[in-house]
Structure 1
Amino acid sequence: MHTLVMTGATSGIGRVAAVELLRRDPRMHLVVLARGRSGEDLRGPRVTLVDADLASVAGVGSAVDTIRTLLADGVVPPLTGFAGNAGVSLGDALHTTEDGYETTFAVNVLANHLLIAGLVPVLTAPARLLVTVSDTHFGDFKHTGGTMPAPRWSAPATLARPGGFADPGSVTAGRTAYTTSKLAAIHLVHEWARRLPPGVTITSYNPGLVPRTGLSRDAGPVGRLAMRWLTVPLALTPFADTPAGAGRKLADAVLGGVDAPSGSYVDRTRVTRSSDESYDPGRERELWQHLETIRTAANA
């Protein structure tokens, strides 16, 4: 038996993937991080729920401590994987966490770093880590159909604070925060790939456009309408997928069904290059160091 820790498993493609993972791998125990009672319908002999507020540094830290205690006490089997599938897309760039960080950055980037940093010391190799990203980080018409703005990179300290984009109260700023956070997540995967111990790999995973998921629930009425209805016909094209199809592909990637070297970008079912902009060792190191500064301060 072995354990996988997963975020974003209570709805959308993550919910599909969680069910598929348990079905396909009878030796897997799933630790689901979720707020409150949102994951109760997944509870079972091979599922442990851990309360976690991914928008809170202390909340993530508490979840990591709980997982480490479960492992140390033998309540769950050895840890061999992490799937960071949770994400938010908001209607502006002003939403602020209790720690003072912009919420999109906090959930899509910082929480993944804190979880990985906290879990790596208790992993049992061979182990696989995965972070769900998005092809919107390309920022071009081919990948977004003109529905999302291109990412706008700044110093990590700027990206982490509310109001870090032009016209921060606008929907465009919220969407820019999202595409930039997904670019940052790929940078983070690249940097972690350089730092992980032998036998531990990490990949970024792009599910493509998946209409009618819960991702846009906080994106305002226009954003929710677009994701729920206006993009549904795209699910019939190669550019998008259904929640069921995307969830099964996510499960494939988590289980290693795609032969993906550490640090690589998995686009649904194949390894390919992420955007040219996403390969920048200087940015990646700077981002990692900024996130480590936050983590160190929280643990002081």
Structure 2
Amino acid sequence: MSTPTSTPTGTPTGTPTGTTAMTGATGGLGLHAARELLRRAPGTHLVVLARASSAARALPLLREVSPHVSAVPVDLASTADVTAAADRVAGLLDAGDLPPLRGVVCNAGVHLDSALHATVDGHETTFAVNVLSTHLLLRRLSTRLRAPARVVVTVSDAHFGDVRHAGGVFPRPRWTTPEALARPGGHPRPGSVRAGRRACATSKLGGIHLVHEWARRLPAGIDVVAHNPGLVVGTGLARSAGGAAELVVGRVVPVLARTPLVRTPGVAGRELADVVLGSTPAPTGSYVHRTRVAPSSRESYDPAREAELWTWLEAAASR
């Protein structure tokens, strides 16, 4: 892995006192959240974990706010790449090249047109990016977190899979075993758009399970919470979702954006920043719906399933 991109010369905004590592900071609500974080917490050094091409486009926009931004390239669909990127950040922290780690934000995610896409490791891509990569990052970086610290994992109310929460767009999650879910073709009619949506909803359920299990294991003073931004226009996820998703998100959702049902990236980004900064009170292990703690689905509270997921992820990380 290459070293983080150096910060530009010029008048500094002060010496950063803490580091936040973030995925999904190069576009949509994540970019807005990252800019808000840098603006409101000038003592933050932000490490952007993203593909090199995406980071190159986002860094100038982030450095308009603060010079204390660097990037470590990563492909979240590769376990080796995620591990190497996390180890690179850990090495910089250990060497004192970055201030103490105070936050990790796992905001990246994918929503694909089927459940047949496979990563270089042979995992189903949606599960690999939305669940496995989150665990790999936290596994490598959790021991470097210094209290007070907060980990935020972006999830979705798609995990409810009902009309009230998902508008009927997402089917109910279909949880079987982590091994089956991580295998391409692990959902009924795996080549269909509906299977891709089910894989996404199921992975978001997995993200909440993961937050619950990490909350049991992290020490006091280091909180981990799940954040559901709700329906957000302009995230770009629909481009890979297939079916009518791009039409709905491109034409229908912008109209709904004038109502409280839909958030714009700017509003959703500010709300995510509130969660990261602790402005939105949320105890460890909680589910934050937009701006407040709320119950996630009844299915999402399952300690036995969460322990099984942890065991599988640990085994996958060790391969």
TM-score between the two structures when normalised by the length of structure 2: 0.91
1:91/1:223 contact within 8 Å kept: no
Q: Counterparts in 2 of 1:41-52, with a 5 A limit?
A: 41-42=58-59, 44=63, 45-52=67-74
Could you tell which deviates more after superposition, 166-175 or 205-214? 205-214
| Aligned residue number for residue 190 of structure 1 | 212
Shift of 1:196: 0.6
C-alpha distance in 2, partners of 1:5/1:228?
A: 30
Q: Tell me which of 25, 32, 43 is aligned to 1:16.
A: 32
C-alpha distance in 2, partners of 1:16/1:181?
A: 24
Q: Tell me which of 128, 133, 136 is aligned to 1:111.
A: 133
Q: Does 1:30 align with 2:46?
A: yes
SS at match of 2:148: strand
C-alpha distance in 2, partners of 1:165/1:78?
A: 42
Q: Counterparts in 2 of 1:13-162, with a 5 A limit?
A: 13-40=29-56, 41-42=58-59, 44=63, 45-162=67-184
Identical positions, percent: 58
Counterpart amino acid of residue 65 in structure 1: D
Counterpart amino acid of residue 8 in structure 1: G
- Unpaired stretches in structure 1, ≥5 consecutive residues: none
C-alpha distance in 1, partners of 2:243/2:156?
A: 22
Q: Tell me which of 288, 298, 314 is aligned to 1:266.
A: 288
SS at match of 2:244: helix
2:193/2:243 contact within 8 Å kept: no
1:213/1:228 contact within 8 Å kept: no
1:3/1:78 contact within 8 Å kept: yes
Shift of 1:226: 2.0
C-alpha distance in 2, partners of 1:245/1:143?
A: 19
SS at match of 1:37: helix
Aligned-residue Cα RMSD (Å) equals: 1.1
C-alpha distance in 2, partners of 1:8/1:67?
A: 16
Q: Does 1:176 align with 2:204?
A: no
Alignment deviations for residues 198-231 of structure 1 (CA, whole Å, 9 cap, x no partner): 2111000000001221122221363222222222
Shift of 1:239: 2.2
What is the number of equivalent residue pairs in this alignment?
A: 297
Counterpart amino acid of residue 191 in structure 1: E
C-alpha distance in 1, partners of 2:45/2:274?
A: 16
| Aligned residue number for residue 5 of structure 1 | 21
C-alpha distance in 1, partners of 2:295/2:259?
A: 21
C-alpha distance in 1, partners of 2:135/2:174?
A: 21
1:81/1:128 contact within 8 Å kept: yes
Alignment deviations for residues 218-265 of structure 1 (CA, whole Å, 9 cap, x no partner): 213632222222222222222221111101100101100111000000
C-alpha distance in 2, partners of 1:87/1:8?
A: 7
Alignment deviations for residues 100-152 of structure 1 (CA, whole Å, 9 cap, x no partner): 00000000000000001110111111110010000111111101111111111
C-alpha distance in 2, partners of 1:284/1:263?
A: 12
Could you tell which deviates more after superposition, 261-270 or 139-148? 139-148
Counterpart amino acid of residue 154 in structure 2: T
SS at match of 2:146: strand
Shift of 1:165: 0.3
C-alpha distance in 1, partners of 2:53/2:162?
A: 39
Q: Does 1:209 align with 2:231?
A: yes
The 4+ residue runs of structure 1 with deviation greater than 6 A are: none
| Aligned residue number for residue 14 of structure 2 | none
- Unpaired stretches in structure 2, ≥5 consecutive residues: 1-16
